[in-house]
């Protein structure tokens, strides 16, 4: 079993839809959670980070963490064609002497159709 599971998609939605992207994880020691967006042939770009459980909102993006269920989500409201990219979740447990190592999910490929 992988430490982090993420549905690779592809996920196709119409413009304006609400998109829900999810990851599950097995390591209960993970406390720090991130979402990256990666356009084709580019490096990942950090979208949001959260610590422990709860919600965080930034414009059209909302990140949720449910540590009891080992489940994290990224919601995109009013999705735009420019949101078409691969979305990667990432997480870490610095206290485990991982030395800054992030564990990434597989990535979900999102396509927003005009």
**Which residue from 63, 74, 85, 88 is in contact with other proteins, where contact means CB under 8 A?**
88
Q: Which two tokens stand for residue 59?
A: 């414009």
Q: Does the protein bind other proteins through residue 34 (CB under 8 A)?
A: yes
Q: Which residues ranging from 7 to 26 are in contact with other proteins (CB under 8 A)?
A: 8
Residue 59 or 99 having the CB closest to other proteins: 99
Cβ–Cβ under 8 Å, residues 89 and 8: no
Distance CA 72, CA 26 (A): 12
CB of 16 to other proteins, least distance (A): 27
CA dist 31 → 40, 88, 100, 103 (Å): 29, 17, 13, 12
Count of H helices and E strands in the chain? 0, 11
Residue 17 or 27 having the CB closest to other proteins: 27
Q: Which two tokens stand for residue 56?
A: 């965080």
**Which residue from 44, 65, 79, 83 is in contact with other proteins, where contact means CB under 8 A?**
44
Cα 51–Cα 56–Cα 57 angle in degrees, nearest 5: 155
Residue 11 or 17 having the CB closest to other proteins: 11
Residues that bind other proteins (CB under 8 A): 8, 32, 34, 36, 41-46, 49, 51, 88, 90, 92-94, 98-102, 104-107, 109
């Amino acid at each position: 079993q992988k430490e982090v599971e993420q549905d690779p998609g592809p996920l196709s939605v119409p413009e304006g839809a609400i998109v829900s992207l999810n990851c599950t994880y097995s390591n209960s020691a993970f406390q720090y959670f991130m979402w990256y967006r990666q356009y084709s042939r580019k490096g990942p770009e950090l979208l949001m980070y959260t610590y422990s459980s709860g919600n965080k909102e930034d414009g059209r993006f909302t990140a949720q963490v449910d540590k009891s269920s080992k489940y994290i989500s990224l919601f995109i409201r009013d999705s735009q064609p420019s949101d078409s990219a691969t979305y990667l979740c990432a997480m870490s447990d610095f206290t485990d002497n991982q030395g800054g190592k992030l564990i990434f999910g597989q990535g979900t490929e999102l396509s927003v159709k005009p």
